[in-house]
Amino acid sequence: MSKQSIIEKNNQYKGNLKVEGDLKVLGVAEGKIEVENCIHLEGGRIIGEVKAKCAVINGNIDGKIECSDFFDMEKGVLNSKVKAPKIIISEFADYPDLNNIIEQD
């Protein structure tokens, strides 16, 4: 089982963060974030640059996110550049023109 780090609701992290395993964000994370496995944003907010194997987003994200496996935007607001081999954006997500958010190689 993979380790999981958590930024709790009503908590804020600002700075560079490198996580082994998974990261769950319920509060606010701001800065450069590197996650070995998956990042799960659940009702919180991420501001900055994220690199992870995968991302499951249910919150607000501003910045740039790069995933080596997949990016899944279930609900929330997406104001980011996204780079991933597989991108899933739900009808419940709020996002601008997809041509402006998907980053090509």
- pLDDT beyond 60 at 1: no
Q: How many C-beta atoms surround the C-beta of residue 7 within 10 A?
A: 21
Q: How far apart are CA 73 and CA 93, in angstroms?
A: 6
Q: How many domains does the chain have?
A: 1
> Per the structure block, which two tokens stand in for 41?
């944003």
Q: Range of 52's domain?
A: 4-89
**Mean of the per-residue pLDDT values for the chain?**
90
Confirm whether 59 is domain-assigned: yes
Give the gyration radius of the chain's Cα atoms: 12
pLDDT in tens, 38-50: 999 999 999 999 9
pLDDT in tens, 80-94: 889 999 988 888 787
Q: Which residue has the tokens 């990261």?
A: 23
pLDDT in tens, 58-85: 999 999 999 999 999 988 888 888 999 9
Confirm whether 104 is domain-assigned: no
User: What single string gives the DSSP state of each residue in 23-43?
Assistant: EEESSEEEEEEEESSEEEEEE
Confirm whether 101 is domain-assigned: no
Confirm whether 105 is domain-assigned: no
- Per-residue confidence (pLDDT) for residue 81, from 0 to 100: 87
Residue type, 77: V
Confirm whether 95 is domain-assigned: no
